[in-house]
Chains A and B, each alone.
Chain A
Amino acid sequence: MAGAPVSLQVFALSQPAPLEPLSALVHQAAQGDRSAATAVCRLFAPVVRAFARRRVIKTDAVDEFTQDVMLVLIEALGAGKLEQPERLGGFVLGICRNLARDRARQRERREALLTEYAGNLAALAAEVPDKPTYEIIHLEDCLSSLSQRARDVVRLAYAEAMSHVDVAQALSLSEGNARVLRHRSLHALRECMSRRISWEAT
């Protein structure tokens, strides 16, 4: 259905490695293989969302921007517009920047692309799960080992998508101290989540 929002929530802890080298995927996509185009999109989705996060706050807006980028990318790959696969990173970034520059003008074009490529987006999307995934309960386990202040900074910065300035203000910290706390908390969580859930390790 054109215009229907498609959630791009992805819960896998690590993105699956492409089954084919990127250049092969780009070539296959240009031959009309939509699963190859989807694989390319899946690879870039986290950084496209990071690009959007820097510019917009609300999760819905981040998802919509990501969806728009993917629609343009899928179309461009299918049309064989990327002649040098080794420049794929810059190509995707260029789409991001162009869309960020002029969102309003893209609305009409977005509807047309959605009609054509909604199937690709559906393959990329994963509905918010009814039950917690392993990654979610793993994070819950790891959060409980942090200090309350570290949990607060993760909640504000990641669950509520606050900017670094707002996080610092909410916690009555200097921006520098909030940044150090954020980085330390991130590293503690990444280290914790690289192991098994606490009780599974004993």
Chain B
Amino acid sequence: MSEPASPTADPLALLDDYTSGAMPDSEAESFEEALFARVAHGHASEADFADTLRHAAEWIARRGTFNVGNTRAEIDALLASGFKVEYRDFGDASVPVDIPPLRPDTEIFVYRVGIDLRGYDGADVVIETPSGEPIKTFRDIRFDPTDGELFGVCEAPLAEIGFRSGPARWKLIARRGAERVHVGTLETRPVG
């Protein structure tokens, strides 16, 4: 038996309740009448977003790039999958890494960072420009449980944008309980 859903007036949340089944049938009938009427007036952008999200999420899940950080076994499976994978070893992050253009036929970009994260509960990667301007944070990255190494996977076009837009510093912040430890900083710079 479903728990009663608390009221919400947000269109995207309501649509999610509707499609996921959280919205009871007694409410769904009037909801869908209003939804279809709003589409006819061009006022249901949340439906377009949810539809695009679903298709894109299905695509990403099929490619195996949903997670942030992968295990060595997952990388081995990806290398054997038939996708055109370009693999780069970034070493132990002690020296800057030059990033040349990806091969034109690369579908998925894989990189390894040889830092041992064993013993930590989790880790984030904070990416900045060389002048310290924040770019983004990768949250809750996964690492290999056997040797603590970090393997990253992303679609080639995103790798082109992420690694070749300009030089960047990738600060690896590990967590152990409430403690946050700066484990290392990987510097990347596009070349060629």
A166 to B157, CA, bound (A): 34
- Binary flags per residue of B3-22, CB closer than 8 Å to A gives 1, else 0: 10110101011011111111
Query: Number of B residues whose C-beta is below 8 Å from A?
Result: 70
User: Which of A47, A92, A174 gathers most chain B CB within 10 Å?
Assistant: A47
- Binary flags per residue of B36-71, CB closer than 8 Å to A gives 1, else 0: 111111101101111111111111110101111000
A53-B19, A179-B17 known; A186 vs B36 contact (CB < 8 Å) = no
Contacts of B22 in A (CB 8 A): 164, 175, 179
Asked if B157 and A137 sit within 8 Å, CB to CB, the answer is: yes
Asked if B13 and A128 sit within 8 Å, CB to CB, the answer is: no
B81 near A: Cβ within 8 Å? no
Asked if B52 and A135 sit within 8 Å, CB to CB, the answer is: yes
A176 to B4, CA, bound (A): 8
A86-B40, A137-B157, A141-B158 known; A14 vs B21 contact (CB < 8 Å) = no
Asked if A50 and B39 sit within 8 Å, CB to CB, the answer is: no
A131 to B84, CA, bound (A): 12
Q: How large is the interface on A (under 10, 10 to 19, 20 to 34, 35 or more residues)?
A: 35 or more
Contacts of B2 in A (CB 8 A): 164-165, 175
Asked if A139 and B60 sit within 8 Å, CB to CB, the answer is: yes
Instruction: Mark A residues whose CB is within 8 Å of B.
Output: 9-15, 17-18, 22, 43-47, 49-51, 53-54, 59, 86, 88-90, 92-93, 96, 128-129, 131-133, 135-137, 139-141, 143-149, 151, 154-155, 157-161, 163-165, 167, 174-176, 179, 182-183, 186-187, 189-190, 193, 197-202
Can you give 22 contacting A-B residue pairs, CB < 8 Å?
A14-B49, A15-B48, A43-B40, A46-B50, A50-B19, A50-B50, A51-B32, A54-B18, A92-B36, A131-B157, A135-B52, A136-B60, A137-B157, A137-B158, A147-B139, A147-B140, A158-B54, A159-B54, A159-B66, A164-B17, A199-B136, A199-B165
